[in-house]
Structures are given as structure tokens and as C-alpha cells.
């Protein structure tokens, strides 16, 4: 080990990092090898003022999707040199403002693809077969024996699955459909080649075609101005009355008020929703929709995946504060224009 390298590590150990909520220990261990680490001691989201106060004299920030990181917060970090987001999405960060200030921003892509796809199928199956309703029924002591009409649900095998968005997660969901002998339709801004479609077992369709024909519709799009309320009253009314909507993407992609009305009025049969428009708040009446399965944003919540996310986010921050271009950079232009802090 060279003398220069030793000095570099020594300098890094003096840098300070704020982590806005406890993450799996392997990620924190990586940070502690290099920095003085301050972790939010409370198991809750930090308020904006707490983040502003906590960032004073901090060199790095590791934040969560639940932390809105705006220009005011960035300016409060008088020594801030980089922001690592513990999520694949980064719509909680004003990336353009970060770039203006020479702050690299990173995310954690790839590691949660398969786990989120697993969970999309968990929601699909639980909703179709009314598992949550039936479980509650049994726990309440109402089960008094087998009955031919008790909790009749919908078959999954042989049905049509519609995917809106065919990125990494959407493709992983499509692969799993082959085991259920399903017809898979997809809509995406980028159409696959015929060879890619054949390999994945999918057919390109318009969004309208998917809404009208699919028995199950699963959303896999990022949150952009163009995808906000991608599914609203108009789209819900185009779906089959027997259709089920699945959302593991971003809450505001679905007009939640319109969805609640559709569920209560029988416009669609059900929904499996892991993300909400105004988390952690639910639209009025949503919790009373027993034809919906509504877990608390846990699609990536396996021990293995959340640990991988933690180590990736921590490694991203180490790279940034070492003056390297991090592997998972969201705003590479910050380096191209020479603004990044080194």
C-alpha cells in the first residue's frame, strides 16, 4: 500500500456523513470504515428542518425515497459533496438543482429488479384469489367449514397479462408469466425487436388495447410529468369489470381517488397496490376497499435485497467522496461540465 493511498484513507476517515434513517448494518459498516457517520436515531422520516440542521458540516448525505431533497436542503449542506439515494427511483431529489451545485446524485438500480417482480406477482395472486380477505375471515372466527361459494376468486393461468412499461422490472414480471401459460401484452416507449419479443414471450400493444383486453394490468413506469395519473377515471372505465390493477411503480402514476371509486363501484374487480399517491396517507375510503390488497410499500423488502441496496448506496457515497465517478450516477453531466466537488 502506497503512502499516498494511506493518506487518502486517513483524510476520508475525517469526512462526515448523514444517514436519514437506519439501513441494514452492512451498508452502515461500509460507511463507518471511511467516515464519521451520523444516523437518524428515530425510526421515522426526518422532518425537513431536522435534515437541514443535520447537514451542517456534513460532507455526504445518504437519504431515502421518503426524503424530499430540494434546493433549500442542499444549500444547508455547507460542505455537502454528494447525495446517495437508497432507492432505484430518485424523484424525491431535485436532481437539476443538485447538478447546478456540483452535487453528484446516485441511486441503487438493478438490485431490486427480481424481488420487486416477485412481489408484483404476490399482489396479483393475492388479489385474484382473495387471500387477504379470506385470511381475515378465518382469523375472525367466521370459518365454519368448506362451502362451494366461499371466496371465489379468479384464475390466473391462461389469462392475459398487460404490462405498461417494460424496463428491467416489467421484463422480469413478463418472464414469470410463462409459467402460467399467459398471453402477455406490453406497451413501452421503446418497442423491442421481434427477436427480443419472441424471447421474452410478449406482444406489443397500444395502451388502449391493453386496458381493454388484459385481465391483469401491471404498471412498471417511472414517475414523470407524462406518467402522473397515467391511470385515472378514463383508463379505469376502459378496463374489464373482471380486471385487476397492480402497481409496484410509483403511487402518483395512479389517480388514487379515481381508483377508490372504481373499486367501490365495481368498475374493476380489484387492485394490488404497494405504492400510494401521498404516502403514507391513503385516499379517503381506500382502507375500506376489501377488493384491494394494500401493503405498505414493501415490494423490495427482502433481507437480501434491502441489504444489497444498503451496500450499493454506501459504496456510491464512498466513491463520490473519494472524488471518483460513482458507478450508479444519475447526473453524469455534473462531471462532464467539471462541477462536481472533488
Q: Which residues are catalytic?
A: 250, 279, 297
CB 160 within 8 A of CB 185: yes
Is the Cα dihedral 325, 327, 329, 333 positive or negative?
positive
What are the φ/ψ torsions at residue 6 (nearest 5 degrees)? -60, -45
Alpha helices in the chain (DSSP H): 3-13, 25-34, 48-54, 71-76, 95-100, 113-128, 131-139, 168-177, 194-200, 207-213, 233-238, 256-265, 303-321, 333-336
- What letter does residue 178 receive in the DSSP assignment? G
Distance of CA 117 to the CA centre of its chain: 11
Buried b (16+ CB within 10 A) or exposed e, 304-326: ebbbbbbbbbbbbbbbbbbeeeb
Buried b (16+ CB within 10 A) or exposed e, 141-158: eeeeeeeeeeeebbebee
Which residues neighbour 140 within 8 Å (Cβ) at sequence distance 6 or greater?
A: none
CA triple 325-15-68, angle to 5 deg:
70
CB 287 within 8 A of CB 294: yes
Dihedral in degrees, nearest 10, Cα atoms 87, 90, 91, 96: 160
CB 240 within 8 A of CB 215: yes
141 Ramachandran zone, left/alpha/beta (phi>0; psi -120 to 50):
left
Amino acid at each position: 500500500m502506497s503512502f499516498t493511498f494511506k493518506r487518502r484513507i486517513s483524510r476520508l476517515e475525517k469526512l462526515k456523513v448523514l444517514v436519514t434513517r437506519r439501513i441494514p448494518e452492512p451498508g452502515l459498516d461500509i460507511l463507518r470504515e471511511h467516515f464519521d457517520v451520523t444516523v437518524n436515531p428515530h425510526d421515522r422520516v426526518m422532518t425537513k428542518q431536522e435534515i437541514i440542521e443535520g447537514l451542517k458540516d456534513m460532507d455526504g448525505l445518504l437519504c431515502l425515497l421518503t426524503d424530499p431533497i430540494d434546493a433549500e436542503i442542499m444549500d444547508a449542506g455547507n460542505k455537502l459533496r454528494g447525495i446517495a439515494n437508497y432507492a432505484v427511483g430518485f424523484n424525491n431529489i431535485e436532481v437539476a438543482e443538485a447538478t447546478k451545485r456540483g452535487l453528484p446524485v446516485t441511486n441503487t438500480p438493478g438490485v431490486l429488479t427480481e424481488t420487486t417482480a416477485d412481489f408484483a406477482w404476490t399482489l396479483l395472486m393475492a388479489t385474484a384469489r382473495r387471500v387477504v380477505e379470506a385470511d381475515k375471515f378465518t382469523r375472525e372466527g367466521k370459518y365454519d367449514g368448506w362451502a362451494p361459494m366461499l371466496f371465489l376468486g379468479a384464475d390466473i393461468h391462461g389469462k392475459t397479462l398487460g404490462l405498461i412499461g417494460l424496463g428491467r422490472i416489467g421484463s422480469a414480471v413478463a418472464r414469470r408469466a410463462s409459467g402460467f401459460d399467459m398471453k402477455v401484452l406490453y406497451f413501452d416507449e421503446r418497442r423491442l425487436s421481434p427477436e427480443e419479443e419472441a424471447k421474452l414471450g410478449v406482444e406489443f400493444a397500444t395502451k388502449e388495447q391493453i386496458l381493454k383486453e388484459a385481465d391483469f394490468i401491471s404498471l412498471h413506469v417511472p414517475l414523470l410529468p407524462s406518467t402522473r395519473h397515467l391511470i385515472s377515471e378514463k383508463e379505469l372505465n376502459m378496463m374489464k369489470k373482471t380486471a385487476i390493477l397492480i402497481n409496484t411503480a410509483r403511487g402518483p402514476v395512479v389517480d388514487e381517488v379515481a381508483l377508490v371509486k372504481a373499486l367501490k363501484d365495481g368498475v374493476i374487480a380489484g387492485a394490488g397496490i404497494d405504492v400510494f399517491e401521498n404516502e403514507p396517507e391513503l385516499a379517503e375510503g381506500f382502507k375500506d376497499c376489501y377488493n384491494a390488497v394494500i401493503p405498505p410499500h414493501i415490494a423490495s423488502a427482502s433481507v437480501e435485497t434491502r441489504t444489497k441496496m444498503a451496500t450499493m448506496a454506501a459504496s456510491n457515497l464512498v466513491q463520490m467522496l473519494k472524488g471518483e465517478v460513482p458507478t450508479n450516477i444519475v447526473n453524469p453531466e455534473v462531471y462532464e461540465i467539471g462541477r462536481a466537488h472533488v
